[in-house]
Amino acid sequence: MKTTSDSLRCRTTTTTGRISGNASPACFSRSQSFSRDIGHAASETYLMSRLAFTLLRYLGLGRRWMLRLLALLLYAMLLMPGFLRVVYQFCVSSQVRRSIIYGDQPRNRLDLYLPNNIDSPKPVVIFVTGGAWIIGYKAWGALLGLQLAQRDIIVASIDYRNFPQGTISDMVEDVSQGISFVCKNISEYGGDPNRIYLMGQSAGAHISSCALFQQAIKEFKGDSISWSISQIKAYFGLSGVYHLPNLIEHFERRGLHRSIFLSIMEGEESLKQFSPEMFVEDPSVKNAFSILPRIILFHGTEDFTIPPHASITFVETLKRIGVPADLILYKGKTHTDLFVQDPLRGGKDELFDYIVDYIHAGDVDALAKVAMAPPRKRLCPELLLKLAGIVSPF
């Protein structure tokens, strides 16, 4: 426990900013770390603001986009009580390692969420957030990371370049590099390099599945690799996109203009290359996918942003070529219910509980800890959650 004198020593500095004789080196180290976090947060805020203005030049200010922007702002305002509590936990928790550098690009950062007690190597989830390939950000995984860490699971939430800073090949490259970093270094943080799970949500499910399946092709061809499919125990895809040509017109109707979408995907000729459902049936590489881990897809039946048919047909295709795959549909759930509203609601959550039980399957001690863990707290009033569901632009 920190005493009053400890607190005073933490605040004792000279006017030049150097530590005085009474200052604690540990306190100064924490202060430096906090200052670095604040500085990095400021630089990232500037970067995201600059990219947002660049994006507006691409999109213009048409009526449809203005209405969706207003709906998004209202949606965020309604859920703000919950978001603020998550932000507070993210900022003050000693179990979060923020903005760890995994590569050379400005967005090559990841956040680590660690259990309170790492008494043995823990399983790891590498999480790739969504955001329509445009507004993805590692902090969107904060709630999932904090809650899984409470269930004895380490989470690495990967940031990556978004459009227009990068296009789809840049995003896949960043995510693959992040996976490589985790596979090589997670043991230093108490993670088990032999129990790593890959998970993506929405656009993040698309990007991470491309990284996984393209890695299988590299290994099949004997190319140089920095991580191995064998290190990934399962893939969890939440509300994802796996066949791009099938959804171009749908996204156009939802407000993502065809020209913008094709710019993100590097042109119509590249759609197959970045559509896992299509390239897994390429006869020249079909045998590459026999080494894939189990693929488990989750989708809400009332998801109008990415229809559940996207996951249904992908699982059917995977089974047809012999890849172990499962599909779990959640009746009445929308695109954001499974990832935002339900976690903010607290208590029992079918998707969350399934993932925890799957990861800890066979580990009696871990399952016993999970059974004794306190229920997840409600972070947002039910009325606000229901209203947010009504106005959601997703």
303 is catalytic: yes
CA 209 to each of CA 130, 272, 330: distance values in angstroms, whole numbers, following the listed order: 12, 14, 21
The reply to whether 226 belongs to the active site is no
- Helix (H) or strand (E) holding 97, with range, is strand 96-101
Q: Report which secondary-structure segment, H or E, holds 56.
A: helix 25-59
* Beta-ladder partners of 34: none
Catalytic, out of 111, 152, 159, 303: 303
Both ends of the chain: CA-CA distance in Å?
A: 46
Longest dimension (CA), the chain: 71
Q: Dig out the tokens for 329 from the structure.
A: 């549909």
State the angle between helix axes of 142-149 and 80-92 in degrees (0 to 180), rounded to the nearest 10.
60
Q: Which of 24, 99, 176, 202 is catalytic?
A: 202
Which of 126, 162, 47, 81 lies closest to 388 in space, CA to CA? Answer: 81
Which H or E run contains 127? Answer: strand 122-128
Q: Three-state SS for 110?
A: strand
Check 206, 243, 299, 335 and give the catalytic one. Answer: 335
The yes-or-no answer on residue 257 being catalytic is no
How many Å apart are CA 247 and CA 322, to the nearest integer?
A: 25
Catalytic positions, please? 202, 303, 335
